[in-house]
Amino acid sequence: MSHAVMLDRETLDLGDLDLSGLESSVETLTTYPQTQPADVVERIGDADIVIVNKVVLTAEIIQACPNLKLICVIATGVNNIDTQAAAERNVKVVNCRAYGTESVSQHAIAMLLALNTRLLDYAEAVRAGRWEQAPHFCFLDYPIREIADQTLLVVGHGELGGAVARKAECLGMRVLKAERPGASEVRPGRVDFHEAIPQADAVTLHCPLTAETENLINADVLKRMKPTAVVINTARGGIVNEADLADALRRGEIAGAGMDVLTTEPPRAGNALLANDIPNLIVTPHSAWGSRTARQRIVTQTVENISAWEQGEALRVVV
């Protein structure tokens, strides 16, 4: 059996996960809460397997660890791994997939409902004592919209987008599936993104961040949306131009937005969407994926990946 080291356990395990399967899948497992770049090579040492989430493994690091044979990424994205260097060294890179489908789709729908019911505004009004001062039994200062019969435009109708679409349909919404931005033709069952924008009561983003999708939601698009529409982003921050969105919300060009991702995370130097004067905006800290169930699935998939590799089989292989 192999020796494994986990370099950034705290990005996955808050002390609430069962790691026994992972521990029993290798001869030894050494874990570190976090690892700084200067300590990576020393901590990997002579391990056969390294398990990482966001720790960067450069070509230099991979070359400096001659015993390394398997890199297990406890996420889907592998942009923190020099996959070319790994391939040249015959180091397998595997990842985890579709672990957060239910968690992320639930989060997106929760944002959709909260924005349309003005849930946070009403809760804050009660905390501020405004209901106690109301002349009537109820307090209806914020417009409430029913989502049944609304049109939801799904941008990125893959695993996650499909799950959101199914949940939305159960709530009585009409779902439109956007064609990939930049595509030369619109496939049957899809709609052109720009043509569909004026029809949408809500836009939910589940596409990757690419040259075609960077700043996809910008000032021009926002101006063409219904003033009652909302935007939800649980994909990547750069898909939305954050300054444009903040301005559009302040001007009332759209009715609300829910963002689980920002261009820079954590937002150390602030962000246009963190201002306190933006109406009907919900920002969550890239937490949509993070249910305990989803995080435990990552552990399970990592165990499966290691077991398959030890048996000479391919499972969730990137390179």
pTM listed for this prediction: 0.92
- Residue of 43, 286, 304, 310 with catalytic role: 286
- pLDDT score for 280: 97
Closest CA to 157 of 185, 184, 181, 179: 179
| Domain 3-99+292-310 architecture | 3-Layer(aba) Sandwich (3.40)
Residue 1 has pLDDT above 90, yes or no: no
50: left (phi over 0), alpha (psi -120 to 50) or beta: beta
What percentage of the chain exceeds 90 in pLDDT? Answer: 97
**Cβ neighbours of residue 43 closer than 8 Å, sequence gap 6 or more:** 5, 7, 30, 32, 35
Angstrom distance (rounded) from CA 102 to CA 236: 18
What's the CATH fold of domain 101-283? Rossmann fold (3.40.50)
Q: Based on the number of CB atoms within 10 Å of its own CB, is 314 exposed (0-12), middle (13-18) or buried (19 or more)?
A: exposed
The chain-wide mean pLDDT, for the chain, equals: 97
Q: Are 112 and 232 in contact (CB under 8 A)?
A: yes
Residue 300 has pLDDT above 80, yes or no: yes
Q: Are 233 and 286 in contact (CB under 8 A)?
A: no
Instruction: Indicate the domain borders of the chain.
Output: 3-99+292-310, 101-283
Is-catalytic flag, 265?
Answer: yes
Residue 181: which pLDDT band, with cuts at 50, 70 and 90?
confident
- Residue of 27, 146, 265, 313 with catalytic role: 265
Residue 306: which pLDDT band, with cuts at 50, 70 and 90?
very high
Quote the distance between the C-alpha of residue 205 and its chain's center: 10
Residue 70 has pLDDT above 80, yes or no: yes
Q: What is the pLDDT of residues 152-171, one digit of tens each?
A: 999 999 999 999 999 999 99
Q: What is the pLDDT of residues 238-265, one digit of tens each?
A: 999 999 999 999 999 999 999 999 999 9
Is-catalytic flag, 286?
Answer: yes
- pLDDT score for 153: 98
Is-catalytic flag, 136?
Answer: no
Residue 182 has pLDDT above 90, yes or no: no
- One-letter amino acid at 313 equals E
- Residue of 157, 180, 206, 236 with catalytic role: 236
